[in-house]
Structure 1
Amino acid sequence: MEARKFTAEDFARNHPGGQLGRNLLLKVRDVMHPLETVAVLPKDAGFRDLILALSSHNLGAACIIENRQLLGIVTDGDIRRSLLHASSTDAIKVADIMTEKPVFTTPDATLREAIEIMENRPSQISVLPVLENTICVGLVRIHDIYHR
């Protein structure tokens, strides 16, 4: 491909049905879960409310939002780690276990860009909040990208 100056983007345009084509041509907005389908909680929510919200939305993460601004995210992994150190869940608040200022993507990012954000880091992640002009509009999971 390099000898002919044929880029990955050229390949994607000629083979849009393949995974490379999808990752380069589709946008996060094409596969993300809109905020209406995501567990959303305030930072002072309790552990039980968090578990109930996560269970009813089945995405493996909850967005912590106040005044339409994303304060943080809580994943299934965050919950498991918090249980390792807690003698009781009664006193656990979402604010205690959320990841503040999480990395995020935008609706117009390509799927390839979202994958790079999730995978090219010391500790890989599997879910990203999607922000548009500082407002959380949804979530995208790596599972959604690879199984599209």
Structure 2
Amino acid sequence: MSTQLSIANFNFQTAGKEVLRIERESLEQLDQYINDDFARACEMIYLCQGKVVVMGMGKSGYIGKKIAATFASTGTPAFFVHASEANHGDIGMVDNSDIVLAISNSGESNDILALIPVLKRQHIKLICITSRVNSAMGRLADVNLCIKVLQEACPLGLTPTSSTTATLVMGDALAVALLEARGFTTEDFALSHPGGALGRKLLLHVSDIMHSGNEIPHVTRDASLRDALLEVTRKNLGMTVIVDDLMKIEGIFTDGDLRRVFDMGIDFRNATISEVMTHGGIRIRPNVLAVDALNLMQKKNITTLLVADDYRLLGVVHMHDLLRAGVI
């Protein structure tokens, strides 16, 4: 650096706000480019039988990766290929059922221009995002989306700032327009985000996390209170279900019930579980979303739900199961 300003004399807030002003104004004028070319690009991608292959170099490449990721997560199959790598073999990832979305602010990227004859020979559709309609890429594209900005936020006018922001926003506009056209739903979004909190809440059902088979704490109504307490201890869920021989639910006995039994002065040696159980029990069906089970537990202020098909016991789900599954 040839000169350095004294930090005491430099206003970082003013500089930051100036960047926001310039980029905000650049985005405001981007509206004019949501035009017939934009609609044609959306139609091409919507009708595409393959994938959208996003290409770019440098800063445009970084933006391209984000655009490809946004497409892929919102119902438009897409991936990113670095233009330089495409010139050295990775173009083999693209076939004539795909569409290439190439990004270059100048529209004169040599790496991308070198690929265009190959794309044309294979009859692969090409959408370009550039700031110059009459650039080499703009002229060769099937559709060119213009992202021309008034100025870069960089005071030197060199660092891609406003232009990369405009490119990113144009990519978002494409992805969201296609999302709406496809009728993409919250459930569809969850399928592409199974590792996220939303995915777990929308994809995980009670049947996926419930205790079943021998893991279910249960005794019959003629079991002694002592045997029921042993079952509570063995299965470590803080409760046991009381069922008949066909696993029809008759009642439930929890740690909370045990505390009440102490206050009642019950003869532990001779009492049967049917004398102290709570009849019925709050239940839920196995095909219900786990998040709905959580909501029911919170509403009823309980930590355990019985999973049942009508009155037949199928499993038990505990608040800890929801916690381990990441639903909470």
> How does the TM-score come out when normalised to structure 1?
0.83
Tell me how far apart the structure 2 counterparts of residues 51 and 103 of structure 1 sit (CA, whole Å): 20
Structure 1 stretch displaced more, 79-88 or 63-72: 79-88
Say if 2:211 is the partner of 1:30: no
> What's the offset of the Cα at 1:9?
4.5
Residues 73, 12 of structure 1: CA spacing in aligned structure 2 closer, same or farther, 3 A cutoff?
A: same
Say if 2:295 is the partner of 1:119: no
Say if 2:282 is the partner of 1:103: yes
Deviations 1:43-72 (A, max 9, x none): 121111011111111111111110321111
Structure 1 stretch displaced more, 81-90 or 9-18: 9-18
**Partner secondary structure for residue 284 of structure 2:** coil
The equivalent of 2:308 in structure 1 is: 131
Deviations 1:70-102 (A, max 9, x none): 111111111122112225322432112222121
The equivalent of 1:143 in structure 2 is: 320
Residues 42, 22 of structure 1: CA spacing in aligned structure 2 closer, same or farther, 3 A cutoff?
A: same
Q: Could you tell me which amino acid in structure 2 is paired with residue 131 of structure 1?
A: A
Q: Higher RCO, 1 or 2 (CA under 8 Å, sep at least 6)?
A: 1
**Partner secondary structure for residue 33 of structure 1:** coil
Structure 1 stretch displaced more, 91-100 or 72-81: 91-100
> What's the offset of the Cα at 1:14?
4.6
1:1-148 correspondence to structure 2 within 5 Å? 9=187, 12-68=190-246, 69-86=248-265, 88-121=267-300, 124-148=301-325
Sequence identity of aligned pairs in percent?
34
Residues 20, 78 of structure 1: CA spacing in aligned structure 2 closer, same or farther, 3 A cutoff?
A: farther
For the 8 Å contact 1:35–1:136, the answer to whether it is kept is no
- For the pair shown, the structure with the greater C-alpha radius of gyration is 2
Question: Could you list the runs of 5+ residues in structure 1 that have no partner in the other structure?
Answer: none
Tell me how far apart the structure 1 counterparts of residues 232 and 266 of structure 2 sit (CA, whole Å): 22
> How does the TM-score come out when normalised to structure 2?
0.40
For the 8 Å contact 2:220–2:245, the answer to whether it is kept is no
**Partner secondary structure for residue 88 of structure 1:** coil
Q: Could you tell me which amino acid in structure 2 is paired with residue 81 of structure 1?
A: R
Deviations 1:9-45 (A, max 9, x none): 5664453323332122101111000032122111121
Q: Could you tell me which amino acid in structure 1 is paired with residue 255 of structure 2?
A: D
Structure 1 stretch displaced more, 78-87 or 101-110: 78-87
Give the paired residue count: 143
For the 8 Å contact 2:297–2:303, the answer to whether it is kept is yes
Residues 81, 12 of structure 1: CA spacing in aligned structure 2 closer, same or farther, 3 A cutoff?
A: farther
Would you tell me which structure has more helix in proportion to its own residues?
Answer: 2
> What's the offset of the Cα at 1:8?
5.9
Residues 99, 7 of structure 1: CA spacing in aligned structure 2 closer, same or farther, 3 A cutoff?
A: farther
Tell me how far apart the structure 2 counterparts of residues 62 and 87 of structure 1 sit (CA, whole Å): 18
Tell me how far apart the structure 1 counterparts of residues 323 and 229 of structure 2 sit (CA, whole Å): 26
